[in-house]
Amino acid sequence: MRIWKYEDNGGTLTRRSFPSIVFLMLVIRFQRRGRTNDPAFRVVVTEKRSKPKSGELEILGSYHPKTKETLLKNERILYWMSKGAQASPTVHNLLVTKGVVSGAKVSVVRAPKQNAAEVPAA
């Protein structure tokens, strides 16, 4: 991939190319769909910094928590994980439950922050 940079040299525009390496931090996460009080989620692969409702690279499945209905594309999930995509903690736990990946479940709830007064001085 090349990035083109246009420079102004005395009134004329010249184009120079710079090779660039684009590293995308990919994540497999839920994208909320559904209605009010009736949640439904898509399992998507997207860039880590993108907004939750922005465009996804690929839809990998769906999950309906009320009916516990889960549809996953196992081969595509393993493909994206081999390319470096990491699953969010909640999706990772779902994949472990469904047997797509092996391993232990991870804690989804973050540890509470300690106040400065409670932290022992070293």
| Cβ atoms within 10 Å of 84's Cβ, excluding its own | 10
How do the pLDDT tens digits run along the chain, 122 residues long? Answer: 444 555 556 655 555 555 554 567 899 999 999 999 999 999 999 988 888 788 888 999 999 999 999 999 999 999 999 989 999 999 999 999 999 999 999 988 877 887 766 666 55
Strand partners, 6: 15
* DSSP-derived 3-state class of residue 76: helix
Give the 3-state DSSP-derived string for 77-113, with helices as H, strands as E and coil as C: HHHHHHCCCEECHHHHHHHHHHCCCCCCCCCCCCCCC
Is pTM, for the whole model, over 0.85?
A: no
For residue 1, what pLDDT is reported?
43
Say which CATH architecture domain 26-98 belongs to: 2-Layer Sandwich (3.30)
